[in-house]
Structure 1
């Protein structure tokens, strides 16, 4: 069985909203279409992903597991697409992840001055994904706020304030 990424994106929207109408609005599709796609995904997987009743929509244990696994999978697909498009370009690209409140302008200006042929792209991250963007390939480097799980990453030692 091949897993349809579109259905997976639809599932994530419903799982995050826990409301079919809001998810359909977020996805810019009609709610009956979304419901049919979710039923089709449940059929493909052979299990119900949501408990639906008059009180609302909840994830089943299988739905919780799918959501946990789907988020990094979809991020990896997005990163794969970015890397393939970058490889097809004549201009190399560097994607820098950064946390809000971190100013990258001086470093970006210095880098582009030394490497004018590289297209620099900035990717805003959060506490939850500041390291994941490196692991799944959405960013080539990232400026993070410590502490982070550095397993599998190369990181320079923290700088001492006032020293460069």
Structure 2
């Protein structure tokens, strides 16, 4: 669901996994832009520990922005890196309550006490989570002459 993904983003997520073999998975996130609505449930949010590990992913705004000027919430980007052995282990884990509630498979990882490192970037790309997103991406690709 990230058709405009940049090679640098892939490299960053992979590099983070290689630099932190103790983390079972790595993924990416970026700050929300001023024009984006973090309340949209199709935009998955992630909060991070001070060491860059994911604390939680949600379709809701997390944490609650009691102070309207600060919200340490990032937009999750749908890319992952992991070793084959962890993927095989992940497949044996039962679906978790949080995963079922949010419909986010990465919560199964966290709920089973595994770590997900997060590569933070400023790279902005248009995800495809809704039919409207698809139209936006088609328009961008046409402008770049990637499709007729």
Question: TM-score range with shorter-chain normalisation?
Answer: under 0.3
So what's the TM-score if we normalise by structure 2?
A: 0.26
Decide which structure has greater strand share: 2
Larger RCO (CA under 8 A, 6+ residues apart)? 2
Decide which structure has greater helix share: 1
